[in-house]
Structure 1
Amino acid sequence: MRRLLLVRHASTAAVRAAAFGADEDLDAAGVDAASRLAARLPRGEVIVSPARRAAQTAAGLTVSAVEPALAECDFGAWAGRPLAEIAAEAPDDVRAWMTDPDAAPHGGESLSALLARVRAWLAAQAELDGTAIAITHGGVVKAAVVVALDAPPSAFWRIDVSPLAITELHAHDGRWTVTRVNDREDTRAFSNPAKPRVSERSRGEVGV
C-alpha cells in the first residue's frame, strides 16, 4: 500500500492577497506555522515542489527529493497578480478559465494540463509502497483529489485546500482512495480564537 500525505505549503503574501502564486517566499506567519508541521506528520519519504515556498515549508523535514510534477499550475502572465484585478481587466478570460478545463488565457497551463500532470504522477506513486509526504500547492492537491475520485474537472472548483492542510490518499492495487481532505485541525489550534475566520476562497492563493 502507498500512503500519500499531500500538504499545501504555508502562507505567503499571495495567499493573503488572493493572488495567483509566483515563486515567492513564505510570510512571517507562514514561517512560524511551518515550524510546527513536523509534529503533525508520520515518518515517511518527503518530496517537495521546486518552489521556494514549498522548500521553506519543508525546512524542518528531511527532504528526499524535489519533484517537478508537484509544482503549482503555471499561471503564465497572471502569476503574482490578484484575481480581482484580472477579473476587472479581462472578465471573459477569467470566466473561460473557470468554465472550460482546456482554456489557458493566461498563456500557462490549462486545468486539463494540470490534471494530466498530476494523474501521471499519482499513477507512478500508486506502484510504490510505504508512506510519502508531498509538500506542494493548492492546485496540485485539488487535482489529486479529482483524479483519485475519478471526478469531472468541474469538481476541482468545489474543493478547498488551506495552507498547511493535510490531504491523505491511499493506493491499493493501483487504485486511490481518499482518506481525508483539507485537515486543518492542528493548525486551527494555533490561531487567535478572538479573530473571525476568513474563508479560504476569500483570501487563499488561487490554485487554478
Structure 2
Amino acid sequence: MSPAVNAAPREARCDDAPPGRFGRERTWAAAGLTPGTGLALSGSSGRCRETTTVPGLASRAEPAQAGRDLTRRDLTRRAGRRLDDVAAAEPERVTAWLGAPSAAPHSGESLRDPAGRVGTWLDSLGGAGAPGANFLAVAEAAVVRAAVVHGLRLPAEAFWRLDVAWLTLTEPSGRPGRWNVGLGRHLATPAG
C-alpha cells in the first residue's frame, strides 16, 4: 500500500515528512478499507509511519527494512530539495541515475539495488499459503515500483515508467518466480 501524500512527491522533492492535513484526512477516510491481514509492515518514512496509524494497522505495524525508500541514504544532502533543483546543480548525476539502471552517482542506490532487495524480501514471504503470505506493507512508491519490477520480471528501465498513486493497493499474489500483480486499487477517493 502506498502511503498518504504530502507535498513532497507531488513536487518531486526529497522529504521524509509525514502527510499534511489533506493526506491525514484521506488516510482516515480509507480506514476500514484495507484488506484484513495478519501482519502490517511500515517503511521508514514519516508518510509510511503515519499511514499505519489508521484503525486496524497501528497495533501491528513493524518496520520493514526491505521497504526503505531508495533515496534514504542520500536524503540528508538533498533534504527538502526539488528534483529540478538537484538536476540543475548536478545534471550528469541525475541523468545517469534516471537513465542507467546500474548507476548510483548520488551515493544512494541504483535502480537495480531496490529491485533486488525488495524482490528478495517479497520472495522470502513465500506467496500463497506461506506463513507470511497475508501481510500489508505501507511503502513508498519506489518500493512498490521495485516490487512490481521484480514480481513481473520487468527490465529495470521500467521502474520510472510505473506510476504509483497515493493510498492505493498493489497486490502481489502467487509465489516466488511466478508473481501476479493487481495494480492501483484506490483506498480513498482522489480529490479532483
Shift of 1:91: 1.7
Identify the residue that residue 187 of structure 1 maps to in structure 2.
Answer: 188
Which of residues 69, 79, 83 is equivalent to 1:72? 69
1:171–1:177 Cα contact (<8 Å) kept: yes
Count of paired positions: 182
Structure 1 counterpart SS, 2:94: helix
**Within 5 A, what are the aligned runs for 1:17-32?**
17-20=11-14, 22-32=15-25
AA at the equivalent of 1:16: R
Identity of aligned residues (%): 32
Q: Which moved more, 1:34-43 or 1:117-126?
A: 34-43
RMSD over equivalenced CA pairs, Å: 1.8
The answer (yes or no) to whether the contact 2:43–2:65 under 8 Å persists in 1 is yes
What is the alpha-carbon distance in structure 2 between the residues aligned to residue 87 and residue 173 of structure 1? 37
Contact 1:48 1:63 in 2 (8 A): no
Could you say which residue in structure 2 is the equivalent of 1:166?
Answer: 169
**Aligned to 1:54, what secondary structure does the other structure show?**
helix
CA separation of 1:106 and 1:48: change in aligned 2, threshold 3 A: same
Q: Specify the code of the residue in structure 2 equivalent to 1:170.
A: S
Question: Aligned partners of 1:53, 1:108: CA distance in 2, in Å?
Answer: 20
Give yes or no for contact 1:97–1:104 (8 Å, CA) kept in 2.
yes
Is 1:111 the counterpart of 2:111? The answer is yes
DSSP-derived class of the 1:24 partner: coil
- 3-state secondary structure, aligned to 2:18: coil
Q: Select 1:134's aligned residue among 133, 137, 140.
A: 137
Q: Does the 8 A contact of 2:151 with 2:177 survive in 1?
A: no
**Normalising to structure 2: TM-score of the pair?**
0.86
Q: Is the 8 A contact 2:52 2:61 kept in 1?
A: no
Give the AA of the match of 2:8: A
Contact 1:126-1:175 within 8 A present in 2 as well: no
